[in-house]
Amino acid sequence: MLEFALMTLPDLLLASNSPRRRRLLNLTGWSFEVRAVEIDETPLTGELPAGYVLRLAEAKARAAAGLAPQGALVLAADTTVADGDVILGKPADPDEAAAMLRRLRGRTHRVFTALALFQPESGRLETDLCATSVPMRHYSDEEIARYVASGDPLDKAGAYAIQHAGFHPVDGLQGCYACVVGLPLCHLQRSLLKFGLGPRAGVPAACQRELGYACPVFEAVLRGEDAG
C-alpha cells in the first residue's frame, strides 16, 4: 500500500528575497515560503515616501499572487529612507553612497516600511505602514569611507544598515527598530489578525531579543495606534 504524506501548507508566501526580512519572519512562528518578485521601483513624479512604499508593497504582493500555494496569504514589504519628502533609495555607486551618508549625518530622518497582505482567492488586500524617526550620529568622513569600502551600503536604501556591527550609524532610536531593518513585526501581527491568523508565542519579545533592543512602541502598535 502506498502511503501519502500530508503536505503542510505555509501560512504565508513572502514576496521578498531579503535575508533581513527572512530572519525577522523566522522569529514569529508563522510558517512561510519565499517567492521573490521583481517590479519597477522607480518613484512616480512627485510621489511622497509613504505612498511610494505602500504602492510598491501592494505591487509586489499582487505580482507574487500566482506563485502562492492555495490558501496561503501573500506577504510583501517595501522600505525606503526619506529625508523630508526626498526618497533615498539604494545608491547607484560608492560615490552616491558616501553622499547619502554625509547628507544624513548628525540629523534625524524617517524610514518607512509598508506591509501588504493579499489573499489571492478572495482578492482581499490589507496594508499597513510603519514610519520611524531615525537619529544618526556624527560619524566621521573616515568612518564613511571604511563603511562604503565594505560594500554593505550598496544594497541598502539610504546607504546604511542600522544593525551593521562595525558602523553603528544610529544613536538614540526611540521607535521601531524592525521597521528600519525592513519588517515591523508588531505591525505584521496586528495585520494578520484581520485574516484570522492569531499571534504566535511572544512575537514582540522574540523581536527584541533578536535585535538587542528594548522597544518603547510595541504596546502602542499592538493596540492599533499610529506608532512607529
Q: Rounded mean pLDDT of 120-141?
A: 97
Exposure of 68 by Cβ count < 10 A (0-12 exposed, 13-18 middle, 19+ buried)?
Answer: buried
Report the mean per-residue pLDDT for the chain. Answer: 93
At 15, is the pLDDT very low, low, confident or very high (cuts 50, 70, 90)?
very high
Does the pLDDT of residue 7 top 80, yes or no?
Answer: no
Does the pLDDT of residue 61 top 50, yes or no?
Answer: yes
Catalytic site residues? 78
pLDDT in the model for residue 8: 74
Return the percentage of the chain with pLDDT > 90, whole number.
87
Distance CA 29, CA 66 (A): 24
Alpha-helix residue ranges (DSSP H) falling in 66-184: 94-104, 141-149, 177-181
Does the pLDDT of residue 25 top 90, yes or no?
Answer: yes
Q: Rounded mean pLDDT of 84-98?
A: 96
Does the pLDDT of residue 40 top 70, yes or no?
Answer: yes
At 68, is the pLDDT very low, low, confident or very high (cuts 50, 70, 90)?
confident
Q: Rounded mean pLDDT of 71-95?
A: 95
Distance CA 97, CA 95 (A): 5
- pLDDT tens for 132-177 read 999 999 999 999 999 999 999 998 999 999 999 899 999 999 999 9
pLDDT in the model for residue 175: 97
At 6, is the pLDDT very low, low, confident or very high (cuts 50, 70, 90)?
very low
What architecture does CATH give domain 12-222?
A: Alpha-Beta Complex (3.90)
Higher pLDDT, 66 or 45: 45
Helix H, strand E, coil C: the string for 16-84 is CCCHHHHHHHCCCCCCEEECCCCCCCCCCCCCCHHHHHHHHHHHHHHHHHHHCCCCCEEEEEEEEEEEC
Does the pLDDT of residue 3 top 60, yes or no?
Answer: no
Q: Rounded mean pLDDT of 42-63?
A: 97
Distance CA 54, CA 191 (A): 14
CA dihedral sign of residues 148, 89, 125, 196? positive
Does the pLDDT of residue 4 top 80, yes or no?
Answer: no
Angle at CA of residue 138, ends 135 and 139, nearest 5°: 115
- pLDDT tens for 173-222 read 999 999 999 999 999 999 999 999 988 779 999 999 999 999 999 999 99
